[in-house]
Amino acid sequence: MKISQKGLYALQAMMMLARHYNQGAIRIRDIAYEEALPEKFLELILLELKNARMVESVRGANGGYHLRRAPKDIRLSEIVRLIDGPLAPFADAEQLRDLIDRDDEHRALYRVFLEVRDAAARILDSTSLADIAIPRKTGKPARRRVGKEPRGRVLAMAAQSGSKAHSE
């Protein structure tokens, strides 16, 4: 499973808003600075999250964004599906089930893909923003990026394999 750069930024912004839950609206500039995200791209992401009713915007001098629901009520799967779509290399679980039913020769392979998809979905469905939005030890931002991020960069979400994973 891969999370796009946009998906990663959305998760980081939502984690930041979760850390500041009940502290009022947070300006885009402050979210971008604290999470070291590109401000213009973040604006588009927050608009998408707003349209999905995950965040709410507040206008005015004290304006910005805040979560519409408590962090414990927002699942990572909601954010990932909104920004990046289905949680598998195939369109969805129904498509995989259809392939399992129709393609005898590759049925076992599609069952494995469905199991992977289901495991990823279970983890993301059972993890809330509250579970991962641990308050920072200092008030400093995570880090400042130098230059622009390369386009199309993705974060590969895969379990470790090989001898290191087996030796632990």
* 22-70 residue pLDDT tens: 999 999 999 999 999 999 999 999 999 999 999 999 998 889 999 999 9
pTM (predicted TM-score): 0.75
Virtual torsion, Cα 19, 20, 22, 28, nearest 10 deg = -130
Mean pLDDT of the chain: 82
- Which conformational region is residue 39 in: left (phi greater than 0), alpha (psi within -120 to 50 degrees), or beta? alpha
Q: What is the pLDDT of residue 12?
A: 96
- Of all residues in the chain, the percent with pLDDT exceeding 70 is 77
Say which residue, 132 or 150, is predicted with more confidence. 132
Q: What is the pLDDT of residue 140?
A: 52
116-126: average pLDDT:
89
> Collapsing DSSP states into helix, strand and coil, what is residue 156?
strand
**Band of pLDDT at residue 95, cut at 50, 70 and 90:** confident
Q: Is the pLDDT of residue 17 over 80?
A: yes
